[in-house]
Amino acid sequence: MRGYNFSSGPAALPLPVLERARDEMLEWGDERASVMEISHRGKGFVAMAEQAEQDLRELMSVPNNYRILFLQGGATAHFSQIPMNFSSLDRQADYVLTGSWSEKAAKEAKFNTKVKIIASAASENFTMIPDFSTWNSSSDAAYLHYTSNETIHGVEFHHIPNSGDVPLIADMSSNILSRPLDVSKFGMIYAGAQKNLGPSGLVVAIIRDDLLEKSNTNLPAIFRYAANSAEKSLLNTPPTFSWYLAGLVFQWVKNEGGVRVMGEHNAQKAALLYDYIDQSGFYTNPVAKNARSRMNVPFRLRDEALDAVFLKESEAIGLMALKGHRSVGGMRASIYNAMPLSGVQALIEFMQDFVVRHG
Ligand SMILES: *Cc1c(COP(=O)(O)O)cnc(C)c1O
């Protein structure tokens, strides 16, 4: 029996999406074959791909002067491709460090740009977001990069930083489509699909036209965003199944009422869980209240020696994948769009019961 899946990624997908994919697994549309077995240049696939893009554009209210790309390589490839496209070794790019993922992005960027760390929460063990007023940003930077939700540390930006005229670039892998967002504040948004959009193998990138227009041309086409954009993400064979499944997720989000409703559900789920943790006297979350993630909730038990029992007992009743990341320890409940309120309620009930028996 399927349990409640708290995996940080690849993460839970909405059940109606999986059911639909199952139902059309052997024969998709009138192709007399599965969606995985047909040409990405055929009419059927192209129509589906364009619909998925259109649905995402509508869901996120993406302005007309932005392209939406469906790419590969995971968010990790884009840690490198961003400086390759928009900077150079003699130009500076600004990075904000708020956890493991932004650290990795900055580390990988160094091969293709001068990296300047303009703010860092490393000395606070990544439990807060440095106040915007302390950011030492530069007006001539190629771009300003930050990670809008730190999947491992459970730290989320609840406001968009102001980067002035410098293009703002955000890794939104783990909170894209989780709430309303003003896309027009960004030069580029990118996200690996396997947290909130679909299965792994796909990256969605939303890039403003003027960045594409002045991006570097001395790169192999496959690494150039402008070249991928010119070919509508069909420069080579795209991850066809992931694209299709992400399209089903977009339709599901639309049916649920869009990002506004997602945002309300996510706020409600997170508030329930944090409120319980804070008043439990047994579990703790170290993150500053104004920076707590609505998507990833790390928590510790009063006694680390109970971690193994907690995991064994939770799995036995179908609460899956609660183990925290090895760098942070303890537990982590990832409660993306696809996690229903009932899953969070079941988790809290288990946590309460665990305290009664082991506290
Ligand atoms: C998961 C994740 C990544 C890495 O994604 P890959 O697809 O494995 O490259 C990068 N950034 C954030 C915020 C993530 O959550």
Which residue's CA is minimally distant from atom 8 of ligand 1? 74
* pLDDT value for 38: 98
Q: CA-to-CA distance for 262 and 180, rounded, in angstroms?
A: 8
Q: Which atom of ligand 1 is nearest to the CA of 203?
A: 7
328 φ/ψ angles, rounded to the nearest 5 degrees: -110, -30
Residue 192 Cβ inside 6 Å of ligand 1? The answer reads: yes
Q: Which atom of ligand 1 is nearest to the CA of 172?
A: 13
Which residue's CA is minimally distant from atom 12 of ligand 1? 173
| Cβ pair 70, 243 in contact under 8 A | yes
Angle at alpha carbon of residue 231, lines to 228 and 232, rounded to 5°: 85
**Cα torsion 186, 195, 328, 293: sign:** positive
Residue 147 Cβ inside 6 Å of ligand 1? The answer reads: yes
**Of residues 77, 332, 32, the one with CA closest to residue 228:** 77
Check residue 135 and report its DSSP letter: -
* pLDDT value for 196: 97
Active-site residues, by number, are 101, 171, 195
Centre of ligand 1 from the C-alpha of residue 334, in Å: 14
Q: What average pLDDT does the structure give for the chain?
A: 98
Q: Which atom of ligand 1 is nearest to the CA of 148?
A: 13
Which residue's CA is minimally distant from atom 14 of ligand 1? 173
* pLDDT value for 359: 86
Q: CA-to-CA distance for 203 and 77, rounded, in angstroms?
A: 9
Asked if pLDDT for residue 65 goes beyond 90, the answer is: yes
Mean pLDDT of 76-99: 98
Q: Which atom of ligand 1 is nearest to the CA of 101?
A: 11
To the nearest 10°, report the CA torsion of 235, 70, 68, 92: -90
Residue 239 Cβ inside 6 Å of ligand 1? The answer reads: no
Centre of ligand 1 from the C-alpha of residue 118, in Å: 22
> To which residue do tokens 């192999």 refer?
220
Residue 81 Cβ inside 6 Å of ligand 1? The answer reads: no
133-190 pLDDT tens trace: 999 999 999 999 999 999 999 999 999 999 999 999 999 999 999 999 999 999 999 9
337-357 pLDDT tens trace: 999 999 999 999 999 999 999
Total Cβ atoms within 10 A of residue 194:
23
> To which residue do tokens 């939104």 refer?
172
Provide DSSP, 162-202. --TTSPEEEE-TTTTTSS---GGG-SEEEEETTTTTSSSS-
Residue 75 Cβ inside 6 Å of ligand 1? The answer reads: yes
Beta strands 4-5; 319-320: pairing state:
parallel
Centre of ligand 1 from the C-alpha of residue 352, in Å: 32
State which of 72, 151, 172, 242 you would mutate to test the pocket of ligand 1, scoring each by most atoms of that ligand within 8 A of its C-beta.
Answer: 151
Residue 154 Cβ inside 6 Å of ligand 1? The answer reads: no
Q: CA-to-CA distance for 332 and 152, rounded, in angstroms?
A: 8
Centre of ligand 1 from the C-alpha of residue 80, in Å: 13
**Strand ranges of the sheet holding 331-334, from the earlier edge strand across to the other edge:** 283-284, 296-301, 331-334
Centre of ligand 1 from the C-alpha of residue 192, in Å: 6
Centre of ligand 1 from the C-alpha of residue 270, in Å: 21
222-264 pLDDT tens trace: 999 999 999 999 999 999 999 999 999 999 999 999 999 999 9
Residue 101 Cβ inside 6 Å of ligand 1? The answer reads: yes
Centre of ligand 1 from the C-alpha of residue 8, in Å: 10
273-288 pLDDT tens trace: 999 999 999 999 999 9
Q: Which atom of ligand 1 is nearest to the CA of 194?
A: 7
Residue 7 Cβ inside 6 Å of ligand 1? The answer reads: no
**Of residues 266, 201, 196, 272, the one with CA closest to residue 8:** 196
Cα–Cα separations (whole angstroms), residue 82 to 75, 144, 243:
10, 11, 22
